[in-house]
Structure 1
Amino acid sequence: MDKLRGMETFIAVVEHGSFTEAASHLEMSAVMVGKYIALIERRLATRLLERNTRRQSLTDAGRVYYEEAKRVLEQVSIAESSVERLRLAPAGTLRISAPTSFGACVMAPLIATFLQQWPDVRVELDLTNRLVDLVDEGFDLAIRIGDIHQTDLVAKYFCAYRMVICAAPAYLSRHGTPLTPADLAGHLCLSHTVWTARNEWKLPGVTQEVRWRRDAVLRCNDGYGLRMAAIAGAGLLLQPEVLLGEDLASGKLVRVLEAYTPNRARFICSGVRIFARCRS
């Protein structure tokens, strides 16, 4: 029989004064109560209760067992409550990988709000444009942009990640404003080593995808560096809108080819671990 259930039964007999009352409290038969008590006494090789037709009383061994059994069940209750709190309220360290510019501009403010809501959580935000291995490198989740090809990851769609093509007014005054992808042939390109590959921009056209191949006058792995070069008039820039919002609003940069702007999906990829206090 279950030792914890036996302890619970013994405590009920002591506190309710009889097998019958204990059975009613525990919603079991008085016969089953008697079996639990007999099993405990047989296992311990001593009597815990003295009983007659009028009353029952604890033996010295019974008093010791009663106090210790109560302590054990209280600890079990504390353990179960702790696990329940853990399930309901996240705590511990959450390791996140995110693209450098997006992580700094978008994730950092969101994390600040998250930490106010969950004060027992600590966040490690790793900003890199490298595709990390969530399991081998110990990350709980990663922000990925574009299609997900790893079948061992659990991916959740976050939102659309709108890209913009833009340039400084001074650049457009020198080189003209492109109206169609065909006009790009005479323009200078600033390329991010992550957003663009093989000196190629993939622009969704009205009926089919348009690809513009042109050697970039500047390639950089940091969006902030490309942004500053574009503001200085170095060329056309293809970059996430969220990173350029203030510059577009102030007129430092101007959108072009809006009908051909690509959108990318933003995903949250979760590792195989469950985030909890186990990594505190």
Structure 2
Amino acid sequence: MDYLKCVESFVNTVTCGSFSAAADKLGLTPAMVGKHVRELESRTGCTLLHRTTRRQGLTDAGLRFYQYGLQILATVREADGLANHLYENVAGVLRISAPVVWGTHVLTPILSRFLQHYPGVDAEMVLSNRKVSLIEERFHLAIRVGTLNDDGVIAIPLAPYRMILAASPDYLARQGMPELPADLQQHHCISFSQWRSDHRWQLEGPTGTQEVAMTPRLMVDSGEALRQAALSGLGIVQHAAITLQSDIDAGRLCRVLPDWQPPARPMHLLRLPGKQQLALVSSFTDFLLRALSDK
């Protein structure tokens, strides 16, 4: 039998003065209220109520349990109120994981605007290129680039993660501008070490897909280090368009083989399943999707 229901029946019996009055308040029968009280007495091993044909009163143990029961029910109401607040109000701490580059250039400004709009929300953003576990690491949301192999999560498609090739004007002045993908074999290339590709760059263009075998002059596991190496004139970099576009617009870098680019990588927003989502999670999800659609 539900322990909390037993406590609720006992407390209301004492407060209302009888099984019948407690039953009316709780929407139960007097017999069920009496059964709840007897179950509580059986569980505690104590007589909680003195019963006579005319009235019933508290025993010493019953008085102490009544006081505890009031606290128990108050705590339950407080917990229910907190849960309802979290499901109905945009408040709390949002935990979200995202890849370093996308999180830095795209998610950070969007999340900052969201926090300004909702003063009751705090956030913890973890930027990492590894695949996190939403359940084990207690994330509300995660941005995932690449193929999905997560069971039991809801994946919302986002715009694909687009890559481009670029190099500094200084490098291109010294080494020349490639005209075909095969020309990359004669150039210094800068590669992201976390994307294992057997030293092959796959490019899609007007005549289909081509793979170019090359030996990277530099392999590095940092997106910002890739960018800095390209800016310093080391060679041709394959990197996210969102990272390099401002440098291209400013003339610090130039697009290389603009008709050819690496295959776009699928990207998703992941969340745990459930019909009812925290208002915090659903509100940020809507905010993020609207912001991305405006880009």
User: Structures share a fold, TM > 0.5?
Assistant: yes
User: Which residue identity is paired with 1:244?
Assistant: L
Q: C-alpha deviations, 1:25-81, integer Å up to 9, x for none?
A: 2222233344445666786346435553xxx46355465554343233223333444
Q: 1:213 to 1:122 in 2, by over 3 A?
A: same
Q: Residues 270 and 46 (structure 1 numbering): CA distance in 2 closer, same or farther, change over 3 Å?
A: closer
Assess, with a 3 A threshold, how the Cα gap between structure 1 residues 215 and 45 changes in structure 2: closer, same or farther: closer
Q: Give 1:212 shift.
A: 1.4
Aligned-residue CA RMSD (Å): 4.1
Opposite residue 178 of structure 1, the aligned amino acid is P
Instruction: State which drifts further: 225-234 or 151-160.
Output: 151-160
CA contact (8 A) 2:160 2:265 kept: yes
Q: Which one has the largest radius of gyration?
A: 1
Is the CA contact 2:95–2:123 (under 8 Å) kept in the aligned structure 1?
Answer: yes
Q: Which residue of 2 aligns with 1:188?
A: 188
Q: The residue matched to 1:159 in structure 2 has which SS?
A: strand
Which deviations, in whole Å up to 9, do the C-alpha atoms of 1:151-190 show, x marking residues without a partner? 5684734431111112223333444433432444544323
SS at match of 1:11: helix
Query: Structure 2 counterpart of 1:44, which letter?
Result: C
SS in 2 for 1:215: coil
Q: 1:73 to 1:227 in 2, by over 3 A?
A: closer
Deviates more, 1:238-247 or 1:106-115: 106-115
CA 209–118 in structure 1, closer or farther in 2 if over 3 Å, else same: farther
Q: Structure 1 38/154 Cα, relative in aligned 2: closer, same or farther at 3 Å? A: closer
Mapped partners of 1:155, 1:3: distance in 2: 35
Whole-Å Cα distance in 1 between the matches of residues 65 and 224 of structure 2?
A: 70
Partner of 1:265: 266
- Please, which moves more after superposition, 238-247 or 56-65? 56-65
Gapped runs of 5+ residues in structure 2?
Answer: 273-277, 279-295
Rate the CA distance shift 1:139–1:169 in 2: closer, same or farther, 3 A: farther
Counterpart contact for 1:178–1:257, Cα < 8 Å: yes
CA offset at residue 268 of structure 1? Answer: 5.3
What is the aligned partner in structure 2 of residue 9 from structure 1?
Answer: 9
Q: Cα 1:4–1:153, aligned 2, differ >3 Å: closer, same or farther?
A: closer
Give the TM-score normalised by the residue count of structure 1.
0.70
- Count of aligned residue pairs for this structure pair: 265
TM alignment of 1:227-238, pairs within 5 A: 227-238=227-238
Match of 1:58 in 2: 57
Please state whether the residue corresponding to 2:202 is helix, strand or coil: strand
8 Å CA contact retained: 1:97, 1:139: no
Distance 1:13 1:190, change over 3 A: closer
- Deviates further, 232-241 or 260-269: 260-269
Equivalent-residue separation in structure 1 for 2:72 and 2:154 (angstroms): 43
Q: CA deviation at 1:244?
A: 1.1
**Aligned partners of 2:252, 2:143: CA distance in 1, in Å?**
29
Q: 1:42-53 maps to which residues of 2 (within 5 A)?
A: 44-45=46-47, 47-52=49-54
Query: Equivalent residue for 1:146?
Result: 146
For the 8 Å contact 1:96–1:139, the answer to whether it is kept is no
Partner of residue 77, structure 2: 77
Please say which of residues 19-28 and 43-52 is displaced more in the overlay: 43-52
